[in-house]
Amino acid sequence: MPELDIENLSKLCRIKLSDKELEEIEHDLSRFLDYMKQLEEVDVSDLSPYGHVDEQGVDSLRADVVGDELPRETFLKNAPDKVGGMIRVPPIIKS
């Protein structure tokens, strides 16, 4: 298995991890990759590929239909911060 560089990945993601967390993540990723290798060994040659199809061979996704609108007061009732009838969120891009 290729060496997992979790420290470099955590720096790229700007996530600070303790040594214990690094070990746990490396262990979990190793288990995940081992499971993926195990799945690669499963013979699927007799299976046909499907997308979003149910048992009858019909696309089971629902139609995108506009329904009744939720009143603005209802969805703003539990918002922690609101301004001008909208939910205020903290900025994520700083100048």
Q: What residues contact residue 61 under an 8 Å CB cut-off, 6+ apart?
A: 52
Residue 44 to residues 13, 16, 40, Cα–Cα distance (Å): 36, 41, 9
Q: Are 29 and 36 in contact (CB under 8 A)?
A: no
User: Which one-letter amino acid corresponds to residue 33?
Assistant: L
Q: What is the pTM of this model?
A: 0.43
Report the alpha-carbon distance of residue 39 to residue 76 in Å, rounded. Answer: 46
Segment 28-81, tens digit of pLDDT:
989 999 999 999 999 988 877 765 556 665 666 778 888 888 888 898 998 999
